[in-house]
Amino acid sequence: MATDYDAPRKNEDEQSEESIEELKARRHDKNSGKVDEDETEAAESFELPGADLSHEELAVEVKPKQEDEFTCMSCFLVHHRSQLADAKKMICRDCAA
Protein backbone atom coordinates (compact mmCIF):
# COMPACT_ATOMS: atom_id res chain seq x y z
CA MET A 1 0.00 0.00 0.00
CA ALA A 2 2.81 2.31 0.93
CA THR A 3 4.50 1.79 -2.35
CA ASP A 4 1.24 2.43 -4.13
CA TYR A 5 1.13 5.83 -2.52
CA ASP A 6 4.75 6.66 -3.14
CA ALA A 7 4.84 5.95 -6.81
CA PRO A 8 2.37 8.61 -8.04
CA ARG A 9 3.83 11.15 -5.64
CA LYS A 10 7.28 10.84 -7.11
CA ASN A 11 5.90 11.31 -10.53
CA GLU A 12 4.12 14.49 -9.52
CA ASP A 13 7.28 15.95 -8.07
CA GLU A 14 9.23 15.22 -11.17
CA GLN A 15 6.55 16.74 -13.32
CA SER A 16 6.36 20.01 -11.41
CA GLU A 17 10.12 20.29 -11.41
CA GLU A 18 10.16 19.77 -15.10
CA SER A 19 7.56 22.43 -15.76
CA ILE A 20 9.52 24.94 -13.67
CA GLU A 21 12.63 24.21 -15.65
CA GLU A 22 10.60 24.59 -18.78
CA LEU A 23 9.28 27.96 -17.66
CA LYS A 24 12.77 29.12 -16.81
CA ALA A 25 14.01 28.06 -20.19
CA ARG A 26 11.15 29.83 -21.91
CA ARG A 27 11.84 32.99 -19.97
CA HIS A 28 15.41 32.88 -21.10
CA ASP A 29 14.30 32.56 -24.68
CA LYS A 30 12.04 35.57 -24.33
CA ASN A 31 14.75 37.66 -22.73
CA SER A 32 17.26 37.01 -25.42
CA GLY A 33 15.00 38.11 -28.25
CA LYS A 34 12.83 40.91 -26.86
CA VAL A 35 12.82 44.25 -25.09
CA ASP A 36 12.79 44.97 -21.38
CA GLU A 37 9.04 45.48 -21.24
CA ASP A 38 8.45 41.89 -22.12
CA GLU A 39 10.82 40.80 -19.43
CA THR A 40 8.80 42.72 -16.88
CA GLU A 41 5.61 41.15 -18.07
CA ALA A 42 7.11 37.72 -17.91
CA ALA A 43 8.35 38.38 -14.41
CA GLU A 44 4.92 39.54 -13.31
CA SER A 45 3.14 36.52 -14.63
CA PHE A 46 5.84 34.44 -13.00
CA GLU A 47 5.19 35.81 -9.56
CA LEU A 48 2.96 34.10 -7.02
CA PRO A 49 -0.35 35.72 -6.00
CA GLY A 50 1.07 36.57 -2.57
CA ALA A 51 3.94 38.61 -3.97
CA ASP A 52 1.86 41.72 -4.55
CA LEU A 53 3.66 43.64 -1.81
CA SER A 54 6.75 44.31 -3.86
CA HIS A 55 4.45 45.83 -6.43
CA GLU A 56 3.05 48.33 -3.95
CA GLU A 57 6.49 49.25 -2.73
CA LEU A 58 7.39 50.13 -6.25
CA ALA A 59 4.31 52.32 -6.59
CA VAL A 60 5.20 54.17 -3.42
CA GLU A 61 8.62 54.98 -4.78
CA VAL A 62 7.24 56.25 -8.05
CA LYS A 63 4.36 58.34 -6.76
CA PRO A 64 4.80 62.14 -6.68
CA LYS A 65 5.79 64.10 -3.62
CA GLN A 66 3.13 64.20 -0.90
CA GLU A 67 2.05 67.05 1.36
CA ASP A 68 3.90 65.65 4.32
CA GLU A 69 7.07 65.12 2.36
CA PHE A 70 9.88 67.36 1.26
CA THR A 71 12.79 67.22 -1.10
CA CYS A 72 16.12 67.63 0.58
CA MET A 73 18.13 70.40 -1.03
CA SER A 74 21.34 68.60 -0.33
CA CYS A 75 20.80 65.01 -1.39
CA PHE A 76 17.62 65.72 -3.42
CA LEU A 77 15.83 62.75 -1.98
CA VAL A 78 12.21 62.95 -0.95
CA HIS A 79 11.85 62.47 2.79
CA HIS A 80 9.01 62.49 5.22
CA ARG A 81 8.64 65.71 7.20
CA SER A 82 9.79 63.97 10.31
CA GLN A 83 13.17 63.76 8.61
CA LEU A 84 13.36 67.51 8.08
CA ALA A 85 16.25 68.86 10.13
CA ASP A 86 16.36 72.43 8.81
CA ALA A 87 13.12 73.89 7.45
CA LYS A 88 14.84 76.99 6.02
CA LYS A 89 17.48 75.10 4.12
CA MET A 90 15.21 72.14 3.50
CA ILE A 91 17.80 69.67 4.55
CA CYS A 92 17.15 66.19 5.83
CA ARG A 93 18.53 64.72 8.99
CA ASP A 94 21.03 62.66 7.11
CA CYS A 95 22.57 65.72 5.49
CA ALA A 96 22.39 67.89 8.59
CA ALA A 97 24.24 65.35 10.66
58 binds Zn ion (CB under 5 A): no
Tell me: does residue 31 bind Zn ion (CB under 5 A): no
The verdict on 84 binding Zn ion (CB under 5 A) reads no
Report phi then psi at 91, rounded to 5.
-120, 140
Task: Report how many residues bind Zn ion under the rule CB under 5 A.
Answer: 6
Task: For residue 74, give Cα distances in angstroms to 54, 77, 81, 92.
Answer: 29, 8, 15, 8
Per CB under 5 A, the list member of 42, 74, 85, 86 interacting with Zn ion is: 74
Distance CA 15, CA 7 (A): 13
User: What is the binding site for Zn ion (CB under 5 A)?
Assistant: 72, 74-75, 92, 94-95
